[in-house]
């Protein structure tokens, strides 16, 4: 299963460190089986951008990760934590791997 995240870069609370805008997002995209058992998933995204790169991405960008799981019905739980302010966002939805 390929999970795609849309990142609204302009709304991230980036910190300027030595002329670069920095942020770390911890993304947990976890699959749970019908019994609620964890199957797989996690990644980290580090931003360390110069102003030119930030300006190119300020309208938004996507990031993706692949979760390997056997065919079946799952619950996909997505949790994102941003490091600079410690804020969280979460979402859960049913998915099926064919």
pLDDT in tens, 2-60: 888 888 988 888 999 888 999 998 888 889 999 999 888 777 888 899 999 988 988 89
Contact residues for 10 (Cβ-Cβ < 8 A; gap 6+): 58, 59, 60
Could you tell me the CATH number of the domain that includes residue 12?
2.60.40
Q: Give, as one character, the DSSP assignment of residue 49.
A: E
Kindly report the backbone phi and psi dihedral angles of residue 43, in degrees, each rounded to the nearest multiple of 5, phi listed first. -160, 165
Task: Give the residue numbers spanning the domain of 86.
Answer: 2-97
Provide the whole-model pTM. Answer: 0.73
pLDDT tens figures, 75-89: 999 998 898 899 999
How many residues are given for the chain?
A: 98
pLDDT at 77: 93
Number of domains in the chain: 1
């Amino acid at each position: 299963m390929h999970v795609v995240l849309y990142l609204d870069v302009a709304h991230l609370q980036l910190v300027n460190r030595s002329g670069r805008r920095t942020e770390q997002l911890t993304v947990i995209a976890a699959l749970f089986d019908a019994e609620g058992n964890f199957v797989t998933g996690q990644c980290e995204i580090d931003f360390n951008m110069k102003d030119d790169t930030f300006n190119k991405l300020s309208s938004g960008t996507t990031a993706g990760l692949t979760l390997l799981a056997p065919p079946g019905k799952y619950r996909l739980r997505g949790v994102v934590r941003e490091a600079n302010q410690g804020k969280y966002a979460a979402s859960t939805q049913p998915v099926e791997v064919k």
